Amino acid sequence: MNFLITGGAGFIGSAVCRHLCSNPDYRVTNLDKLTYAGNLTSLRPIEKAHNYRFEHADVCDASAVLEVLKRHEIDIVIHLAAESHVDRSIDKPAAFIETNIVGTYRMLNSALEYWRRLSSERKSRFRFHHVSTDEVFGDLPFDNSVFTEQTPYAPSSPYSASKAASDHLVRAWHKTYRLPVVLSNCSNNYGPCQFPEKLIPLVILNALDEKPLPVYGAGRNVRDWLFVEDHACALAIVATRGVVGESYNIGGGSERSNMEVVEAICSILDDKRPRSGSRRYRDLIAFVADRPGHDRRYAIDASKIRLDLGWAPRETFAGGLAKTVDWYLQNEWWWGPIRSDHHTSERLREERMSAV
Ligand code: NAD
C-alpha cells in the first residue's frame, strides 16, 4: 500500500508518517513545501527507513503533485498540508485561502486525473482522505451540546472558513466526479513536535524561559484535546477502512478550558522542573486581550468512528500532557533552533502578547 502524506513535515503529518512507517507493508511518501511550520527533523526517527521518501513540493503545484502520484504509484492520499494557526489567519488570511482552498482544489484535480487512468483494481483501492478540523462547525454554548457529523457548518475564523471551503470541495469532487474520498474532522491536538506558537508548547517553553504565559480573555474557552499519536492512529484507520463519501468526527473526550490546560502544565512543571525559591509557574499567567471572533466551546461526539471503525483514544489527557511536557524538557535540540531562529514577526507577536 503506497501512501502520499501532504504536510508530513508538520506536527500531525510527521506523527502520521512515523506511525505508518512502522508497518513494513506500507510505503510512505511525504510531500511538503516546508513553510515555517514544516520541520524535517520531526522525521528523524524514520528518515533512513526503507519505506519513507520525501518530496519537496507545493500542493498548489498541480503538475508536481500529479508527477509524485504517478512516480510513487500512490493508493491512498492523506491530505494534511494547510496553514493551521488561527491567529495568523486573522492577521494575514491570504495564505489560508491559497493553500487550504486553492491547494485542496489543485490536489483534487491532480488526484482525479491520476485516478481516472488507474486500472480498475487499483481504481477501486484508491482513496483521497481529507483531514479537517472541528472548527468548521463553529461556536458551541457552555452546555452539553456536541458536534456530530450532521452538525451544519458555521465557521468563525478565516482559518476555519478556509477549511470548511476545502471540505465542501472534497465532497463535491466525490458527488460530481465519483472521486473516492473520506473526510475526518478532529478536535485540538497536542503532543511532541508541535510548533511553539500553539497554546500547549508555547506555555511550556515560555514557562521554562520565565516569560509570561498568555491566556486569552478570562481563559474560559473550552476545547476538546486529543493526543497526536491517537489522531495519527485514527487517520490510518479512516484512510484504510473508512466508507467512501463518509466523514468521521475524531475527538479525545477531554474537554478543558484554556485556564485548566495552562494550570495543568504549571503544576506538572512545578513537580518536574521547580522554579527557584517558593515561586510557582502559575504566577507567570498573564491574561491578554481576547482573540476576535473567539469560539467559546468545541466538543466532539466521536461515537461514529468508535462504533463503525473500532477506534478510541488510548491516552488520557493527564497522561498525554505529562508525556508532552517530558518531550519538550528532553528535546531542546528540536525546539531550541525554532525558538531562537523565529521569524521576526513571530517574535514581535510574542513580545506584544507578553507586554499586555
Ligand atoms: P502544521 O501547521 O503543524 O503543519 C502544516 C504542514 O503543511 C507543514 O509541514 C507545512 O510545511 C505544510 N504546508 C503548508 N502549506 C503547504 C503547501 N502549500 N504545500 C505543501 N505543504 C504545505 O499543521 P498541523 O497542526 O499538523 O495540522 C495538519 C492538518 O490537520 C491541517 O489540515 C489542519 O487543519 C488539521 N487539523 C489540525 C488540528 C490541530 O490541533 N493541530 C486539529 C484538527 C485538524
**DSSP-derived secondary structure for 19-39:** HHHTSTT-EEEEEE---TT--
> Is 172 contained in some domain?
yes
Using CA atoms, how far apart are residues 294 and 22, in angstroms rounded to an integer?
A: 38
Among residues 224, 222, 196, 232, the alpha carbon closest in space to that of 350 is found at 196
What's the number of domains the chain is made of?
1
* 195 CA closest ligand 1 atom index: 3
Residues serving a catalytic function are 134-135, 159
CATH number, domain at 300?
Answer: 3.40.50.720
pLDDT score recorded for residue 177 = 98
| Distance of CA 35 from the midpoint of ligand 1 (Å) | 10
Average per-residue pLDDT in the chain?
95
> Is 61 contained in some domain?
yes
In b/e form, how buried is each residue of 99-130, taking b as 16+ CB within 10 angstroms? bbbbbbbbbbbbbbebbeebeeeeeeebbbbb
> Is 42 contained in some domain?
yes
pLDDT score recorded for residue 347 = 52
Question: Is the CB–ligand 1 distance for residue 16 below 6 Å?
Answer: no
Position 349 confidence tier, pLDDT thresholds 50, 70, 90 = low
* 188 CA closest ligand 1 atom index: 40
pLDDT score recorded for residue 354 = 44
Question: Is the CB–ligand 1 distance for residue 163 below 6 Å?
Answer: yes
Cell 499567567: give the residue.
Answer: 285
Question: Is the CB–ligand 1 distance for residue 5 below 6 Å?
Answer: no
Task: Give the CB-side neighbour count of residue 66, counting CA atoms within 13 A.
Answer: 15
Pocket perturbation via mutation, ligand 1, pick of 12, 106, 229, 254 by most ligand atoms within 8 A of CB: 12
Using CA atoms, how far apart are residues 146 and 124, in angstroms rounded to an integer?
A: 34
Structural domain range at position 239: 2-194+225-253+293-315
> Is 339 contained in some domain?
no
Question: Is the CB–ligand 1 distance for residue 129 below 6 Å?
Answer: no
Cell 533552533: give the residue.
Answer: 337
Question: Is the CB–ligand 1 distance for residue 13 below 6 Å?
Answer: yes
> Is 86 contained in some domain?
yes
pLDDT digits (tens, 9 = 90+) for 259-287: 999 999 999 999 999 999 989 999 999 99
> Is 71 contained in some domain?
yes
Q: Which three cell numbers stand for residue 347?
A: 517574535
Instruction: Check pLDDT > 50 for residue 304.
Output: yes
> Is 218 contained in some domain?
no
> Is 99 contained in some domain?
yes
pLDDT digits (tens, 9 = 90+) for 224-247: 999 999 999 999 999 999 999 999
| Distance of CA 80 from the midpoint of ligand 1 (Å) | 5
User: What is the DSSP-derived secondary structure letter of residue 140?
Assistant: B
| pTM, entire model | 0.96
